Structure 1
Amino acid sequence: MTNKVYVIGVGMTAFIKPRGLVDYPEMAREAATKALLDAGITYDLVQQAACGYVYGDSTSGQRALYHMGMTQIPIVNVNNNCSTGSTALYLARQAIEYGIADCTMALGFEKMEAGSLSNKYNDRANPMGKAIEITAETRGIAQAPFAAQIFGNAGVEYIERYGATADHLAMIGEKNHRHSALNPYSQFKDVYTLDQIKASPKIFGPITKLQCCPTSDGSGCAILASEKFVREHNLQDQAVEICAQVMATDSPMLFNRSSIELAGVDMTRRAAGEAYAKAGITASDVQVIELHDCFSTNELITYDALGLCKTGEAHKLLDAGQTTYGGKYVVNPSGGLISKGHPLGATGLAQCAEMVWQCRGWAGERQVKNVRYALQHNVGLGGAVVITIYKKANELGSSPKWVDPRKRVGYNPAVEVRHVSEEDVASVRAKQSSEFMARL
């Protein structure tokens, strides 16, 4: 028998340009403090933590949590490329689902270098080596960032096969930048016309600069709990259930010389299908989606993989306005990676925060109407994908002792960004070590 798992607290920093102005422990402290404040608990009650980051020394997760209190709980460090944050969430969920813990934390953070991602080690096998080889044999290697080539070629193949156009890719960029104007956490909040998206500098193939995610600094955090913990702490009214979560890795389809499959689409198909089955729903039952739009081309090909449309008809969803407000789905209400930003280890936890706020109905002007199910898609080349389906935990009922976190902290974190104070940190720090930690 397994336990149900609920998100009881979320928090994140604003995503910012990577200029080295804020170090990762400070970013992590802010996100973790906000998540604990949201949950209304102290760090003493967290029994296990999974910390995700891609660029950093070993045990950075431990250093990131020092400020919360050195309670000697298990802390696992996670690196799974761009799906790192959701992988941390996956591990934190498993601990509760299988009865190892009643309260866990998933924390993600990233302090990045400016510019495109690059290979860090030249003295060992590149995990993307086979993808590089296939790309060279099928479409050639260009003088452009390799990730842009992988996803750009997938978009080119979709256009060749199914009749989509470069304008459809630009429509995704326009949509996500427009959505981000309502998200105070977004790195970019400017709204652009379709022509401005198309006229921005070319990066690779049909992809322009305003259709690419930027490198970013930032952090996100989620607190997870069992039903027992939720009830004991009167958190029923804010709990959001993870009703399904599936991780998948690449299949042999990766090597069939299709640029679409080389972008990892088959693992998304697999994970999405299993997640829908576990949740007892279909794609049509979902209202809001945070989709890993590292490039506009990836959003396009992922519509198919998630079952939002028939194979080859992703561009028809866009033509019909079915992926924005007023359509069947609202995809990336946060602005997505393209506009919100993409600090690799934090992205999956920021997606989680947005889905929780949407399920609670807290998202203000960007709130999607009548959310019953929310879906999160977080993918990393190399490869791993995590699909998570959320729903408001209405079956838990209500607690007369519940205090709305927005009243407790004095603002709605879904629509306003505030930095945490030293008093905030002290209020959630593990009590057993608060005096010592205050000296750090």
Structure 2
Amino acid sequence: MSNRTFVIGVGMTKFDKPGTKEGDYPDWVGDAVGNALDDAGVPYEDVEQAFAGYCYGDSTYGQRAIYQFGLTGIPVVNVNNNCSTGSSALYLARQSVRGGLADLALAFGFEKMEKGSLGMKYTDRTPAMDHHLQKLMETHELTPAPMAPQMFGDAGVDHMKKYGSTPEHFAWIGWKNHKHSTNNPYAQFQDEYSLEDILNAPMISPPLTKLQCSPTSDGAGAALVASERYVDEHDLWDRAIEIAGQSMVTDTPATFAEGASAIEVVGYDMSKQARIRAMEEAQVAPSDVDVCELHDCFSANELITYEALGFAEEGEGHLLVDRKATTYGGDGPVVNPSGGLISKGHPLGATGLAQCSELVWQLRGSANARQVEGATTALQHNIGLGGAAVVTVYRPVTA
């Protein structure tokens, strides 16, 4: 029996500033999942397993959100893996199909967030990232800045010290992603800025200004993962996009090794190992990638992840910026045509499914003004500190 897996339907809502989106999380899931079912042209009754991703909320929100489509009795598993939650749900859906446990699985993710920077909800127990913070404090002094931009800002500082990148390199990434989002009706922000605007925005944690940081967001996304048998029996080849390779990696010894920089602490090695394994499964090389949705929670993470994903040699990510390689007309993959987390928004549980949606549209040639012409290989990168990195390789197929 073939263990090939395919995304046959995707859907998402527009991402919005917390407190401004009409409705509540069941409404948003209803829209995203409904759109995915319509996109695939299949009934909810065919779904055999569902995986619900969210970070903020009580238990069994996934069931509450999905029961509106029918009380079919299928297993619904709630997933929380920090910022990689959406891709973790997708990973589990693919595993269920690839392992022969289901012919059609649903991954969906959503978030109803609070305004402002993320913080710990539970202060009466061991923090999930105490080891990461301890390692960070060996080389950096903690400041009053919010912890997430501080950690990734420190990674940017370390890259500048070790390899010669500059604040302008990171600012260009913010400029690029905001510019890309002007063509994305799903994006939280659709404003174009000058490079000077990016550089002169309020400083959050050097070298990161506000316009280089992803916002908190509300929204939902969904993807349907099917077996080759299901695709064939229902003649869905015209919309099927193959998940050619996928890997999830959690923290490795490199994260906490003696002398580890902030670059390692924020997950560089996780991303690198996940990329190697996913590309080996898909039998592709970094040079084959045409379009990439990369986890740019902060511009510094996009730059260092250019290197982790093999788009540049270690220490040379800023050289891609110098030659404007990662935007339309460049000589590298177009990175974050959606606007990325920085401008599209970052509702944690939905982010990975929004990335999946964008890349499916790109490979179908239906991304409208964002279309990367001739795209045949797509890469998705989603990371959560604490930690988990998920890298997925997609390609279009024919019957």
Return the TM-score normalized by structure 1: 0.89
Q: Is the 8 A contact 2:216 2:347 kept in 1?
A: yes
Kindly indicate whether residue 31 of structure 2 is the aligned counterpart of residue 27 of structure 1.
no
Matches of 2:191 and 2:50 in 1, distance apart?
A: 36
Q: How does 1:187-226 map to 2 (within 5 A)?
A: 187-226=188-227
Indicate the residue corresponding to 2:5 in structure 1: 5
Q: How does 1:38-437 map to 2 (within 5 A)?
A: 38-256=39-257, 257-327=260-330, 328-394=332-398, 396=399
Q: Is the 8 A contact 1:180 1:333 kept in 2?
A: yes
Matches of 1:243 and 1:388 in 2, distance apart?
A: 8
Q: Is the 8 A contact 1:2 1:98 kept in 2?
A: no
SS in 2 for 1:7: strand
The structural deviation recorded for 1:269 is 0.7
Matches of 1:172 and 1:50 in 2, distance apart?
A: 33
The structural deviation recorded for 1:22 is 2.7
Letter in 2 for 1:83: S
Matches of 1:352 and 1:127 in 2, distance apart?
A: 27
The structural deviation recorded for 1:2 is 5.2
Deviation readout 1:374-399 (Å, 9 max, x if unpaired): 000000000000000000012x2xxx
Letter in 2 for 1:225: A
Matches of 2:94 and 2:135 in 1, distance apart?
A: 36
SS in 1 for 2:137: helix
Letter in 2 for 1:344: L
Q: Is the 8 A contact 1:375 1:390 kept in 2?
A: yes
The structural deviation recorded for 1:234 is 1.5
Q: Is the 8 A contact 1:317 1:323 kept in 2?
A: yes
Q: Is the 8 A contact 1:187 1:339 kept in 2?
A: yes
Q: Is the 8 A contact 2:18 2:217 kept in 1?
A: yes
Matches of 1:379 and 1:133 in 2, distance apart?
A: 20
SS in 2 for 1:138: coil
SS in 1 for 2:292: strand
Letter in 1 for 2:74: I
Q: Is the 8 A contact 1:2 1:99 kept in 2?
A: no
Deviation readout 1:142-197 (Å, 9 max, x if unpaired): 10110111110000000111111000000000000000000000000000000000
Letter in 1 for 2:293: E
Letter in 2 for 1:371: A
Indicate the residue corresponding to 1:18 in structure 2: 18
Matches of 1:52 and 1:273 in 2, distance apart?
A: 25
SS in 1 for 2:138: helix
Aligned-CA RMSD value: 0.9
The structural deviation recorded for 1:61 is 0.4
Matches of 2:320 and 2:108 in 1, distance apart?
A: 34
Matches of 1:156 and 1:351 in 2, distance apart?
A: 27
Which ranges in structure 1 are unaligned for 5 or more consecutive residues? 397-440
Q: Is the 8 A contact 2:307 2:315 kept in 1?
A: yes
Q: Is the 8 A contact 1:154 1:297 kept in 2?
A: yes
Deviation readout 1:217-249 (Å, 9 max, x if unpaired): 000000111111111112101100000010000
Indicate the residue corresponding to 1:406 in structure 2: none
The structural deviation recorded for 1:134 is 2.0
Letter in 2 for 1:195: E
SS in 2 for 1:51: strand
Letter in 2 for 1:18: P
Matches of 2:276 and 2:135 in 1, distance apart?
A: 27
Q: Is the 8 A contact 1:253 1:261 kept in 2?
A: yes
Deviation readout 1:19-44 (Å, 9 max, x if unpaired): 16431111111100000000111110
Matches of 1:282 and 1:5 in 2, distance apart?
A: 20
- Mean Cα deviation higher: 12-21 or 240-249: 12-21
The structural deviation recorded for 1:353 is 0.1
Q: Is the 8 A contact 2:2 2:228 kept in 1?
A: no
Return the TM-score normalized by structure 2: 0.98
SS in 2 for 1:137: coil
Letter in 1 for 2:372: V
Q: Is the 8 A contact 1:93 1:224 kept in 2?
A: yes
The structural deviation recorded for 1:135 is 2.2
Q: Is the 8 A contact 2:136 2:261 kept in 1?
A: no
